[in-house]
Amino acid sequence: MRISLCIPMYNEAQIIENTAKELSAYMQKAFPCDEYEIIFSDDGSTDGSAELVKALQLPFVKTVGYEKNRGKGSAVRNAVLSSSGDIVMFTDADLAYGTEVVKKMTEALENDGEASLAIGSRNLTGDGYSGYTFMRKVASKAYIKVLSVVGGFRLTDSQCGCKAYRGEAARRIFAKCQVDGFAFDFETILRAQKEKLKIIEVPVKIVNHRDSKISVLRDAIKMLSDLRKIKKDIKNEDK
């Protein structure tokens, strides 16, 4: 079983060398060495993030990217489409959910023979959001509520930064995805549901906190307009 671990990054120069070293050490310990690849996906960083990763020359680590910033969805898609693993997982560059989550999520997927997608959820235990600022917690929960009312979302967390897919399903779904911004998670879930793939939820919690780069108002407006676009796109494809 080969794991492709995808890390989207946008201007993460301050932390990315530590992240790369920590992940590389963890993956070597957790999986046999020819059984994984780590793909750093540069989303048009202007602070040399990609060069920092490349300079480390870590084994089984590759970097993909492009010049201009497009958004997290685009960076994750670029990594997924260049992956070759039987299981493809992505998580955030700041390792917000820690490293153990890689084993936890990929094992959950492997152990459920029928599931194609395992999504992390911060809403399955009482402490998933511990350490969040009040506003970020409210914004996150409000967005999930909007998705359930407007988008028919029936799972407990759409925005969690870690998800693991069967490789084939990941590459098939992401090849169809259009959304470049943070709403891409919802698009992939809708497409998986349309294909009637089995989705399981895995409880996760934030273990590393840093100051948020999210602007609650700006990003919420963008995500709502993307939401309308996703629904329209998927509907039009049926015609």
Ligand X SMILES: Nc1nc2c(ncn2[C@@H]2O[C@H](COP(=O)(O)OP(=O)(O)OP(=O)(O)O)[C@@H](O)[C@H]2O)c(=O)[nH]1
Residues forming the site for ligand X (CB under 6 A): 8-10, 12, 43, 69, 71-72, 75, 92-94, 96, 136, 161, 212-214
Which residue's beta carbon is nearest to the bound ligand X?
A: 212
Q: Which does 80 bind (CB under 5 to 8 A by kind): ligand X, Mg ion, none?
A: none
Q: Whose Cβ is closer to ligand X: residue 37's or residue 94's?
A: 94
Which residue's beta carbon is nearest to the bound Mg ion?
A: 96
Q: Which does 77 bind (CB under 5 to 8 A by kind): ligand X, Mg ion, none?
A: none
> Which DSSP state fits 46?
S
Residue type, 158: S
- In the stretch 92-111, what mask flags binding to Mg ion with x, by CB under 5 A? ----x---------------
Q: Which does 214 bind (CB under 5 to 8 A by kind): Mg ion, ligand X, none?
A: ligand X
Q: Whose Cβ is closer to ligand X: residue 12's or residue 37's?
A: 12
Q: How far is the CB of 161 from Mg ion (least distance, A)?
A: 6
Pairwise CA distance, residues 47 & 101, whole Å: 28
Pairwise CA distance, residues 203 & 205, whole Å: 7
Q: Which does 69 bind (CB under 5 to 8 A by kind): Mg ion, ligand X, none?
A: ligand X
| Cα distances (angstroms) measured from residue 189 to each of 73, 90, 117, 122 | 13, 14, 9, 16
Residue 53 host element (H or E): helix 49-56
Q: Whose Cβ is closer to Mg ion: residue 62's or residue 136's?
A: 136
Q: How far is the CB of 50 from ligand X (least distance, A)?
A: 12
Contact criterion met (CB below 8 Å) for 180 and 110: no
Burial of 121 (0-12, 13-18, 19+ CB in 10 A): buried
Burial of 218 (0-12, 13-18, 19+ CB in 10 A): exposed
Q: Of the ranges 31-39, 65-73, 90-98, 128-136, which one interacts with Mg ion (CB under 5 A)?
A: 90-98
Q: How far is the CB of 80 from Mg ion (least distance, A)?
A: 19
Q: Whose Cβ is closer to ligand X: residue 35's or residue 132's?
A: 132
The count of other CB atoms within 10 Å of the CB of residue 105 is 25
Q: How far is the CB of 198 from ligand X (least distance, A)?
A: 25
Q: In what order do the strands lie in the sheet with 163-166?
A: 61-66, 36-43, 3-9, 87-90, 163-166, 115-121, 198-203
State the residues that interact with Mg ion by CB under 5 A.
Answer: 96
